[in-house]
Chain A
Amino acid sequence: MKRRTLLATAALGLGLAFGGAANAQGMDKVKACFVYVGPIGDLGWTYQHHQGALELVETYGDKVEIAWQENVPEGADAERVLTQMALSGCNIIFTTSFGFMDATNTVAGKFPDIKFEHATGYKRDHANVSTYNARFYEGRAIQGHIAGKMTKTNKIGYIASFPIPEVIMGINSYFLHARKVNPDVELSVVWAFTWFDPAKEADAAKALIDQGVDVIASHTDSTAPLAEAAKTNGAVIGFGQASDMADYKPSPRVSSIIDNWAPYYVKRVGELLDGTYAQTDSWAGIPEGEVEIGEITDAVPADVKAEAEAMRDAIAAGTYHPFTGPINKQDGTPWLAEGQVAPDGDLLGMTFFIEGITGDIPQ
């Protein structure tokens, strides 16, 4: 048994030696590794992360080598995948789903010289763990505006993945901006409890359509909800989620939120190459180009399109924040006073719906 322990220690040392070059003096070559929760062909969330990874090779050529693993479950397996990646000589590892949070931090503690970057999480237990996220709620505001204007039944829907703050703030932003332009609008939320499961996502979309919903937004990673909407001959519209999903243009996909991770990945790996890398907690949005609004198609009337684009530009210019008071919580208690802008901390810990949304967050 002692010998095995010794071997383990030796391998750990080897891993450290591999990562050891990643110090302040910069590096000649970086191996960047990516852990994905879905398949790179999901045409949504994971696809966009992979586009960002490919951009690294595009930008840095021979100086960067990339490796990735798809369909990694968010549980015990993630820790093993991360450890094996660390042992294989990765210098920086991007873990691109919320559920990899604990595994990322645990493995980071064992490999202090390898950099870990966790998307959408909040734990940075070690100096070598950074977190990054995008302000998707900015895009949701624009979708909400379009939804409020476009719905004929006054029923709009949202396919939610998990009841975590990131998702809840998206629902709130979507509803807030739909209600602003259409006081009669009602929102139905379906919880899919998955990030990627085309069958479940399609079922959720069907359920919403059966309830009379005619605008569907989704927070899951596949194109299945749009495929369901496409079967209604234009009666139901939706949005591209995470990726442009341009195949469904001009309708049912009338616009989209595009996650553009490439600038962040290029920046971080570049910093590692030139030795300026430091721990961060990044949360960029439309102004930085990390969240993009995909083309608003002709299925949307010109005036609505112009309003939506004006909102996008105001957010980009920093003159408009989607969560600006007065906003009350679902139970009627005040959250933001007149003119008050939501602090980031409130958004990142958001566990409540805003006033007007019916239904509960699963408890």
Chain B
Amino acid sequence: MVRLEKRPSPSAFWQWATPILAVLLTMVAGGIMFALLGKDPIAAMRTIFWDPLFNAQFASYSRPQLLVKAGPLILIAIGLSLGFRAGIWNIGAEGQYIMGAIAGAAVGLYFFPAENRLIFPLMVVAGALGGWAWAMIPAILKTRFNTNEILVSLLLVYVAQNILASMAVGAMRNPDGGGFPGSRNLSQYPSAANLELIPGTGMHWGVIAAFMAVIAAYILLQRHILGFQIKLAGQAPRAARFAGVNPTRLVVLCMGISGALAGLAGLFEVAGPAGQISIDFNVGYGFTAIIVAFLGRLNPIGILLAGLLMALTYIGGELAQFMLGLPAAAIQAFQGMLLFFLLAVDLLTNYRVRLGAKREVA
């Protein structure tokens, strides 16, 4: 008989081993799925995990793309992880990402076609403010009226998507675009463009910002009183209150930081890889970042690695689709398995698996 025994405290070993185990289990289960679809599972794994990094034909292009794809995921996930640690659930990063992009793009489009080196920094500030302001709605509703921040932040994503659509066909539409929806292409406007800093590396300001966020979050959590308060509020809310942690302040700070970082991610994306405000500008980074945050154990270094891994499954998944003819749905299922197994094996962190009957306790 197999039974579970609660550990007195979460296992430090399993805390780090579970993500790796989850990845391995995903590879096995995914391999079985690919085999059932009539594809060689070994070839599929090699295409997803190996080819983007080391295949001579693709690697020099896809390696930098890994950073482009991972940048926004890491940036958003870092912000989310702070709130998640404190038990503040911002599920609406996708909306904050959109609003950051809109606010930042608005600044850039306002100045078009003037050339000035201050335009881009101003857009960055606007992007962060846009995301921050959007996150403040659920934050203030929570602190004032005790609404549920999960629902409010999530539903605001749909509001943001409608604002995005209206901007793309209305206020921000490219006047030289022949009536087609979508703004001017910011990546073709030198003062506003967020281009690769070193050509061929994929390194743009958004990737730099993601790395900076990782370092800042690490220091915050290890060395700063706010980091201590965040951890305390998550682990022992009552104790935190006795220790003088102001819950209202914590909600506003955590929501604000995650909103601002999501907004920044949106701005860097709209000024760089995406280039323009269009109706379907957002592709789900804000939601995928939730997986990244948990895959990385809400730890800054873990999130960095998880973001890169997630980006790898995207890029490798694309390769697998057209090299091996795997259906897109199989790749999505494969990514879904990752979160599923992560949550499943997370059990090992808090419980011990025991074989045999329960020993009688006198």
Chain A residues near B (Cβ < 8 Å): 1, 4-5, 7-11, 14, 33, 39-40, 67-71, 73-77, 79-81, 83-85, 87-88, 98-99, 102, 122, 162-165, 193-194, 349-351, 362-363
Q: Are B274 and A362 in contact (CB under 8 A)?
A: no
Query: If A80-B315, A87-B57, A163-B181 touch, does A99 touch B278 (CB 8 Å cutoff)?
Result: yes
Q: Map CB proximity to A onto B178-202 as digits: 1 under 8 Å, 0 otherwise.
A: 1111000100000000000011110
Q: Is B279 an interface residue (CB 8 A)?
A: yes
Q: Are A362 and B322 in contact (CB under 8 A)?
A: no
Q: Is B318 an interface residue (CB 8 A)?
A: yes
Q: Are A362 and B170 in contact (CB under 8 A)?
A: yes
Most buried by B among A8, A68, A194: A8
In the bound complex, CA of A235 to CA of B62 (Å): 53
- CB-CB under 8 A from A8, the residues of chain B are 60-61, 64, 199-200
Query: If A11-B57, A71-B328 touch, does A193 touch B278 (CB 8 Å cutoff)?
Result: no
- CB-CB under 8 A from B166, the residues of chain A are 362
A349 to chain B, nearest CB (A): 6
Query: If A80-B65, A84-B318 touch, does A75 touch B200 (CB 8 Å cutoff)?
Result: no
Task: Name the contact of A11 in the complex, choosing from B58, B280, B322, B329 (C-beta under 8 A).
Answer: B58
- CB-CB under 8 A from A350, the residues of chain B are 179
Q: Map CB proximity to A onto B37-68 as digits: 1 under 8 Å, 0 otherwise.
A: 00000000000000000001111111111001
- CB-CB under 8 A from B185, the residues of chain A are 102
- CB-CB under 8 A from A85, the residues of chain B are 322
Q: Are B322 and A88 in contact (CB under 8 A)?
A: yes
Query: If A69-B318, A75-B278, A80-B318 touch, does A88 touch B57 (CB 8 Å cutoff)?
Result: yes
B302-321 interface with A by 8 A CB criterion: 315, 318-319, 321
Q: Are B329 and A349 in contact (CB under 8 A)?
A: no
Query: Which size bracket describes the interface of B in this complex?
Result: 35 or more
Q: Are A75 and B274 in contact (CB under 8 A)?
A: yes
Q: Are B323 and A88 in contact (CB under 8 A)?
A: yes
Q: Are A351 and B179 in contact (CB under 8 A)?
A: yes
CB<8 Å pairs between A and B, sample of 28: A4-B64, A4-B201, A5-B198, A5-B200, A8-B60, A8-B61, A8-B199, A8-B200, A10-B60, A11-B59, A11-B61, A70-B321, A74-B278, A77-B283, A77-B318, A80-B315, A83-B61, A84-B62, A84-B318, A99-B280, A102-B185, A102-B276, A122-B178, A162-B169, A164-B180, A164-B181, A193-B165, A363-B170
- CB-CB under 8 A from A162, the residues of chain B are 169, 181, 279
Q: Are B181 and A84 in contact (CB under 8 A)?
A: no
Extra 19 A-B pairs, beta carbons < 8 Å, given A80-B65, A84-B318? A8-B64, A14-B57, A33-B322, A39-B328, A39-B329, A80-B315, A81-B322, A83-B61, A84-B58, A84-B61, A84-B319, A87-B61, A88-B58, A164-B179, A164-B180, A194-B280, A351-B179, A362-B165, A363-B170
Chain B residues near A (Cβ < 8 Å): 56-65, 68-69, 165-166, 169-170, 178-181, 185, 198-201, 269, 273-276, 278-281, 283, 315, 318-319, 321-323, 325, 327-329
Inter-chain contact total with CB atoms closer than 8 Å: 118
A189 to chain B, nearest CB (A): 14
- CB-CB under 8 A from A165, the residues of chain B are 178-180
- CB-CB under 8 A from A87, the residues of chain B are 57-58, 61
In the bound complex, CA of A84 to CA of B323 (Å): 10
Q: Are B274 and A76 in contact (CB under 8 A)?
A: yes
In the bound complex, CA of A297 to CA of B327 (Å): 34
In the bound complex, CA of A81 to CA of B322 (Å): 9
- CB-CB under 8 A from A11, the residues of chain B are 56-61
Q: Are A73 and B169 in contact (CB under 8 A)?
A: no
Most buried by A among B69, B278, B321, B322: B322
Query: If A69-B318, A164-B181 touch, does A76 touch B273 (CB 8 Å cutoff)?
Result: yes
Query: If A84-B58, A164-B179, A164-B181 touch, does A73 touch B283 (CB 8 Å cutoff)?
Result: yes
In the bound complex, CA of A221 to CA of B69 (Å): 28
- CB-CB under 8 A from B165, the residues of chain A are 193, 362
Query: If A76-B269, A76-B274 touch, does A4 touch B60 (CB 8 Å cutoff)?
Result: yes
In the bound complex, CA of A74 to CA of B282 (Å): 10
In the bound complex, CA of A122 to CA of B62 (Å): 29
Q: Are A349 and B328 in contact (CB under 8 A)?
A: no
Query: If A70-B321, A84-B61, A84-B62 touch, does A193 touch B199 (CB 8 Å cutoff)?
Result: no
- CB-CB under 8 A from B315, the residues of chain A are 80
List of 8 A-B pairs having minimum Cβ-Cβ separation, nearest first:
A7-B60, A76-B273, A351-B179, A8-B200, A71-B328, A70-B328, A11-B60, A76-B274
